[in-house]
Amino acid sequence: MTHYMELLAVNQPWNLLIFMAIPVVLAETLAITELYLLFTRNFTGWVHSLNRAAGITVGIYFVGVIAYLMNTAVLPITQAGEWRTIIDVIAVGCYLIGGLPLIYIALLELGLVNAGASAEDKRKVHAICVALFLVFGHIAMIAGMLDPSLLGPGADATTEMPMMHNH
């Protein structure tokens, strides 16, 4: 199993909530409200407020997630040479990279970047960042579910999952 899946599987249900449920609910809220705003062009009201709040919250949240995982997982795993093939690196790397566009959205919403840009240009950057998060997040999930040993040795720490057969 990849370190990505192992992280989600241990310390149940807390790691699943902290590293998957909370950020995904916030990011999906951001994505859904983003689509609504782009289709309706109604940039006032509660949906816009929800979009802004979700963007700021998930961006700040990912600052903490990335800092925590870099210090407690990525650096120790790298220093010990314990990556379980490139599949493992892709899963963890894409999860962390996926948080960067969300952090940028928070900075954008807080007026700390692109402050002089037009409202339309800010919306474009916002939409691109949401798209980047979705791409990297899905790559992370797909790679995270793969068996690292598909690409050969280096996955000796892989945990065997029992198969359930109901015949």
Residue 114: inside a domain: yes
Interatomic CA distance for residues 19 and 52, integer angstroms: 21
Residue 162: inside a domain: no
Identify residue 146 by its one-letter amino acid code: L
Query: How many structural domains compose the chain?
Result: 1
Interatomic CA distance for residues 38 and 101, integer angstroms: 18
Residue 155: inside a domain: no
Residue 137: inside a domain: yes
Domain residue limits at 17: 3-147
pTM over 0.85: yes
Q: pLDDT 10s digit of each residue in the chain, 167 long?
A: 999 999 888 989 999 999 999 999 999 999 999 999 999 999 999 999 999 999 999 999 999 999 999 999 999 999 999 999 999 999 999 999 999 999 999 999 999 999 999 999 999 999 999 999 999 999 999 999 999 989 876 545 444 433 333 43
Residue 164: inside a domain: no
Residue 98: inside a domain: yes
Query: How many Cα atoms occupy the beta-carbon half-sphere of 114 within 13 Å?
Result: 17
Interatomic CA distance for residues 164 and 167, integer angstroms: 10
Residue 165: inside a domain: no
Contact (Cβ atoms closer than 8 angstroms) between residue 158 and residue 147: yes
Residue 16: inside a domain: yes
Contact (Cβ atoms closer than 8 angstroms) between residue 151 and residue 86: yes
Query: How many Cα atoms occupy the beta-carbon half-sphere of 6 within 13 Å?
Result: 17
**How far are the Cα atoms of 21, 64, 85, 126 from residue 50, in angstroms, in the given order?**
18, 21, 40, 14
